[in-house]
Structure 1
Amino acid sequence: MARPGQRQKGARRTAPPKQRRVRHQDDVISVLARTAREIEAAVLRGRVTPAVRTKFQALALMLRDERARVQAAPGNGSHRAEELKRLDGIAAILAATAVRDAGLLALLAEDTSVSDAARSLKREMMRDLGIEPAPEEIASAETATAPADTESRVVPQTVISRQLANPFLAPDFSAVPQRTSRPRRLAGWELLGPLLSSFERAGGGAPACMALPAPTARFTPAGLELMPHQGQLVAAVAAGHRTFLLADEPGLGKTAEALLAAEAANAYPLLVVVPNVVKINWAREAARWTPHRPVTVVQGDGETADGFADIVVLNYEVLDRHLGWLGDFGFRGMVVDEAHYIKNKTSQRSQHVLTLSDRIRSRMARPLLMALTGTPLINDIEDFRAIWQFLGWIDDSKPLGELADALEDIGLTPADRGFYAAARQCVIDLGIVRRRKLDVAADIPARRIADLPVELDGQAGRSIRAAERNLASRMVAQYETALANRSSDAGVEGIDYDLVRRVARSELKDATTAQSGENVFTMMRHIGQAKAELAADYAAQLARSTGKVVFFAKHIDVMDAAEETFARQGVRFSSIRGDQTPKARQANIDAFVNDPDVAVAVCSLTAAGVGINLQVASNIVLAELSWTNAEQTQAIDRSHRIGQAEPVTAWRIIAAQTIDTRIAELIDSKAGLAARALDGSDEEVSSSADVQLDALVALLTDALRAPSRHVGALRS
């Protein structure tokens, strides 16, 4: 789909045919603008639900059609120009919003299919505006509701050619061995909950990693060298293991491990499903580590795909149109990169991945299945479910196959004290591989995070501190109102911390649903804007004294401000953003890596935090804070990875005497789920929502403790 506000290649400037308009066009543009603002507000709050994505795509379609209508309409030229200007403004809002979320950004790609939900919502919006849909839109709607084989939408011509060229190339669906039934002692027990809980309870130095054999270099091409930990996984595949949750920390070379694992298993043809931004990188890595295996990257409808390739790489967003032939292609292996993308089992991308995995497992004896992710758990232990199901370890309700047998063999039930540790080990033995940088310290130099407090002077600093005071005062008022409305026997001495958390939770809920007004999210954005020039100035100093620097920011306007600073100072930079095509993105990465005069890479924290290698730099500037330790770590690990020859320092720019400082402390105190579930740590489970809530709790608590408050205000 074309970017909003732009015509698709080859499109004529004509309005959609036979659309009867009842309302005035200005009403249409106003509705489009209001809808764009609603989407923008949802993204700023971090609430990018499937409904928001559907609304985004429907709005983009409406915007394209309205632009075509305005351009083709007769009449006053100045009026037409004014309408086009307003439409371009809406397009700019959509583009800027999409940069903040990879899922929205993918909807603007030319090869993205339009979902049935988006088409339906577009028709509803048109009806509400008094626009009669074009005949082809009505026909499309009827087709969408009619029974159809949706898995056969697209079959690339070269795939057909492969099937016709040689009968011996037809898929060899090896017989799946029939499992003999055995008595199930645990048949009446609910087991998935206890299995997940066994990881949540893990601690006391029990890392999640299966036993691995001595490393092998047998499958490594001449001139290249694997690290010992990489060679161990390849050796496990050579010994016959076939399912893996490869959860090595970012930067430890998972891509090379997966490619050589396929070589060791002879798992060809191999299907690789990846985020759109790393398709080119996967093709390059495949050419490097398996140079004798042809690789093809599927773009859009697959017109340029090579049906005879051994390795097929495509992105999550185009799976829907290729499910039919992919399921029948005869793949002997499937790799899912950044597997946390499928954590939401109700999402379309997850359902497509699980469908393909199920089809491969049903038709192939012991295929190679690998889920790659450095952050398998983001917000909840339930994030494991989709990954385990992809690997064939469980289904929606129970353990399957080898896992079910292993649980029977331990001779315990969830009512027994030792069940959880033993059950956790059963899952790990199926193929969880987790190595930390600490475990391979000899291979990778040290990493440290250094905080640089900065003072926000001038009007920006004053307005931010005033906004914090207003937010604290608002919560204090809510707290005191709640106290005043209590019954007389419900008193609490001093500060009621349970009530503090309830007030903070209410404020956080309001912040995620409010359309406007100052809240914790808008404050963090304003702080980022105020820090932008200071952070860029420091990055420029680093670049002059130490060499290349990676500059990360969360918001597009912070990136813009930083790039303006670099331009003024004569510092050459490369910009890596979410709104770039894969080709343009790779060109910017290559410029930073290969051109000695390009000193800084200005990167989007969300769009460039995964899937790229920037190890040419050993200094990173984090201009804005993330809400999670995992996102911050992902960004740092673009440089702190195998091949890095120097210690890596991440310089966090912290706005002193603001909520920024408190959030930095909270992020550092919460290492995330992976620490407990996979690394055997006793650290608390946390998520982005935890940090947001705790920041508000701290703000309210500090306000209640302030000496300027009258003691009588703390009524009990």
Structure 2
Amino acid sequence: MTLTFTDEDLFRWIDEWTLQKSEQCLGGVRNRQLREGLLTAEVQGSARHPYHVEIDLAASMRTARSRLQSACSCPVGRACKHVAAVLVSHMLEPLAMDESPLTEQDLAQPPRAELLADLSRWQSTRIRPAQPRRNGVIFELSTYNHRPAVLVRRVKYGADGAISPGKWMDITADLLLEPPAYLTPTDLAVMIQLRTQRQPATKDEWIDFAATLQLIVSSGHGWVSCGTQDVLARSGAPRRGELGWVVDMAQGATLLEPTLSVEGGARGVVLGRSACYLDPVTGEVGPLQLDVRPEDADAFLSLPSLLPNEASVVAQMLQQIDPALPRPGASDTLPTLQITSMIPVLRLHTIEFRPAWLGRGDASQWADIATVAFEYDEHIRFLDDPSLFAHDPEGQLALLPRDLAEESRREAELRTVGLHRDTAPRAPLEGAGPQFQLRTHDWTRFLLDDVPRLEALGWKVETDDDFRHRITRVDVIDLDIQADPADAGWFNLGLDIQVEGRNVSMVPLLQQVLQSDPRWMRGQLDAIGDDENILLTTGDNTCLALRAARLKPIMALLADLFAQRGAPLRLSALDRGRLQALQDTAHLQFRGRDTQAMVQRLMQAPALGEVPPPAGLVATLRPYQREGLSWLQYLRQQGLGGVLADDMGLGKTVQTLAHVLVEKEAGRLDRPALLVVPTSLLHNWQSEAARFTPGLRVLTLHGPARETLFEAIPGHDLVLTTYPLLWRDEQALQAHAYHLLILDEAQQVKNPKSRAAITLRMLQARHRLCLTGTPLENHLGELWTQFDFLLPGLLGSEKQFNQHWRHPIERGSDHRRATLLAQRLRPFILRRRKDQVASELPPKTLITRAVEMEGGQRDLYETVRAAMEKQVREAISGSGLARSHIVVLDALLKLRQVCCDPRLLPGDAPARNAGSAKLELLRDMLPSMVEEGRRILLFSQFTGMLTLIAQALDDLGLAYVTLTGDTQDRATPVQRFMQGEVPVFLISLKAGGVGLNLTAADTVIHFDPWWNPAAENQASDRAHRIGQQQPVFIYRLIAAGSIEERIAELQERKATLADSILEGGGATGPRFSEEDVQALLAPLPGLPGKRLRKAGKRSTLT
């Protein structure tokens, strides 16, 4: 593990001056080790021997406010330049903590060489014969005005032990770095303490002089001076001391002097938090017992001599400080001022200073600082100013009731905004109290963010005229818009602000914001507070401040336009919604009358008017379908493309066909409409066009013979083709121009680089339209592909779209940008959900989805059909229809199984890989339905099919329950479905077609059609019954052109057909004719060279 700390920790532990000095020691750091949180090292300085440094990193980093725990063998002792050098070295090359346990191999090693060397040196000092002491030092102890005086004198020892005094010694750094050999360790410890106590930066309250005295006594070299003869210092018992006042008649006046008397005639010593005594007669040194704190006794004894008229003031103050303090005799007291308010004041300054290392020719340096004062009404006192007196309005002296606790609390508030006392001010600022530094040195951000916080707390913030940080606030942004003369349909945008009477372009300034703060480009606008100040720096270093609430709407609208630095901002004329939003957001100015007229024309586009259905439409459009037709006509009128994205089953097909028919009846369909559909839906479009718009001339381009139809394209109103054929028929399709180009299930063109997508973009058409119930299946790139086909340039290039829309929304969950994208596309997408148009829907809506079998499934169907057709024909020929009942049912069963999934055929190996078109359609339908919150009942009469569907649901990760004839506990799956635990309920038609109440479902899917429509209706009524609150949509999946489609046709024209086949008995003749059987066993349409013809009583396939 590695213990690391931050720059902030380092500056909290070590002052800036020491850090600067540590640079010269970095090269001398060696032997660094980190074990159990303790960092040790040696630092080679100017002395002969290296200093040993120990830093307890674990303790120093325990909290964000922990102090540095360090020790150094240099005279400073801690937090010195050697410690700083070790810390910096560790930051540059962190050490991993050695936590590995000792191995058996480690334990088996011989003692380390360095250990043996240390033991040898130690032993040699013990066995070396003692040398007679010739030189030494003594410490002479005395007092002056209750303060201790310690002088160090060098002495010589005679052979008889007599002491000869020598010269006084100064305790210098060099002396301590290379101490003389005659100094004992105790002598050296005393001298280090004395030097530390004499440092200017050492405060009295830090000093424990009593401990120093005890150390001097224990050295045996301390002497108490009594004037004529010194006495060897020794430890004494505690003695009482008493503070008081004495009268001094000096200078012809009566003065009162503070005094300290000690029992036994000893001299009292009070310094910092120590109180002790020296007895010059006995040499005793011991603790002094007082009735007040040593600090208060020190302050009391430091008072000057008092004149009689000052005694009352002092007595009054001493009573407030500590009643145990003796008071001079006085009768008068000072009045106390009545203060109505105390206001803290923060003053900001820029001061000039010249560090000692600056040369004569070097320019001065400048520092930004803050000072603190408190306004007690009209009386101002700086922080740490001890004055408690002021003059009242009549000029009389009075007490100023300072609230020192409140002042201290106010100073603590400064620390919360990053201001801290400067312990080593760079330059004095007379009469201003202590100086404060800003930890981050970012005064601009301090003015913007922290000053309002302080002002809200009651602070007054003032800046000197020479304070060098100034900010200009910006409130108004002007938007210039001009039509691009070189590119019709585009506008050039300009963003300007007014700064001191001049225009400044915001485009490069906003690019600064986007580069410095990723929240803007990532669309994390919600993470940016409205009151947050955004800083912009102009070319002439003017600092501008803009509230985020003013900038956020503009950046939300235009962030994607800043993709290329330095590139002009351009906006498509199609982006009418964004133009409107910009007009509402900024001051909109137009350059040129043509531009203004163009923008106003876009803003005032005609409202959506109702278009009556075409006369030739064989259908009654519901209200929402009439609205869809009007919307499609509106897009055509405006020359725009769009996406009709209604939910599945709401009639996108009939709305589109009505749209094409309106164009024909209005005489605008002078070119064909090209409709591209999935292969599985081709048959559905053919039948729907024939059903709803029989007046349209429809041409279907499908199958191997389609090449003969290419020349007939201009002579038709509606041309149908499929996605797989697009690139194969590319040249033939590009040879013609189209009035409408329509894509059904447009989400299938997901890859913009696919050949189908490329072919579609190359086709020439006046109007383009996409149809899809799921315009977005997997990712936003699919949406971009559709709009790149519909309205090229609206969403920019694919790279720009990914950078500014897709990635922030999909990866960053940027809901704001997702909302903005939806707003931008809203004019071009019409999407109605079933719950939105439920009032317009009948209680139950039946939707038939025809799907084309392809590949192996289609071939297998035809193989089975041919074999079954032959078998049935032979059975009927030999036994007649009435006696061929089992043979016919078996044939129809096998064909229905192939339509569902060839794997249902028993023991048919080729069926394993033939595929299932309906199962693939189900794979596409169910995820989107579940995502929309739909609750689904899925019926099939084949329990084996339900097993295959269950496997597909497992692959899709969709939860389900199953109910078949083998289900013993019917209540549990019903309960789980009704309580919303699972969205899909798989039910066999026979087991669940009756007797269940499943009103939690709003969707019913019949995977395979049943002969008897009444059985299907009963199954559907499991959801569509009393208690159902939602519209119910019923889907019937049909394999196009197969026996299933024939069953559906027979259901419509002969409702009793199923009863005739399944129930038998009762009738004297056949229940259905041979024509019915021939229709059920007819080949798939479009198979060349195969047709069914009758030969007498036999049916022959040729």
Q: Which is richer in strand?
A: 2
Q: Which structure has the larger Rg?
A: 2
More relative contact order, 1 or 2 (CA 8 Å, 6+ apart): 1
Q: Which is richer in helix?
A: 1
Q: Give the TM interval when normalised to the shorter protein.
A: 0.3 to 0.5
TM-score by length of 2: 0.24
TM-score by length of 1: 0.35
